[in-house]
Amino acid sequence: EVQLQASGGGLVQAGGSLRLSCTISGFTFDDYAMGWFRQAPGKEREPVGCISSSNGGTYYVDAVKGRFAMSFDNAAENTVYLQMNSLKPDDTAVYYCAVDFENTYCTDYWLGMDYWGKGTQVTVSS
């Protein structure tokens, strides 16, 4: 059974940084695309970005470009990090990681993913 475990959330002041991680277990595929999404209170879930293990490509929504960065753990290929810098109160949300084993190049990743983690809360105070 494929499972995703996201961690690293917390409370941080505006301008601060957090690093989220997401570890996939129970899979046998060689490649995948991992998307990060977030949902703020009272709002719909929205994409944050996606990273492809097929080509190493990373894709970000405009709201986080230049502030957020995704990467693979060099030692554990089933772990992805989301480094979040220059955080703003608007970044407050529950952050989810999700994985797709068929569409491994992040093409239109926001339309749907195969498996989802439970989310981790990120709160940015002003």
- For residues 102-126, average pLDDT: 94
Task: Determine the pLDDT at residue 2.
Answer: 93
Query: Worst-scoring range by mean pLDDT, 25-29, 46-50, 64-68, 104-108?
Result: 25-29
- In the predicted structure, residue 12 carries a pLDDT above the cut 80: yes
Beta bridge partners, 19, equal 83
Task: Determine the pLDDT at residue 84.
Answer: 98
Task: Determine the pLDDT at residue 27.
Answer: 84
| Cα–Cα distance measured from residue 88 to residue 92, given in angstroms and rounded to the nearest whole number | 8
**What does the block give as tokens for 50?**
């996606």
User: How many C-beta atoms surround the C-beta of residue 55 within 10 A?
Assistant: 12
Q: What is the per-residue pLDDT across 52-95, written as a single tens digit (0 to 9) for each?
A: 999 999 999 999 999 999 999 988 779 999 999 999 999 999 99
Q: What is the pLDDT confidence band of residue 29, given thresholds at 50, 70 and 90?
A: confident
Task: Determine the pLDDT at residue 67.
Answer: 98
| DSSP tag of 114 | S
- In the predicted structure, residue 30 carries a pLDDT above the cut 90: no
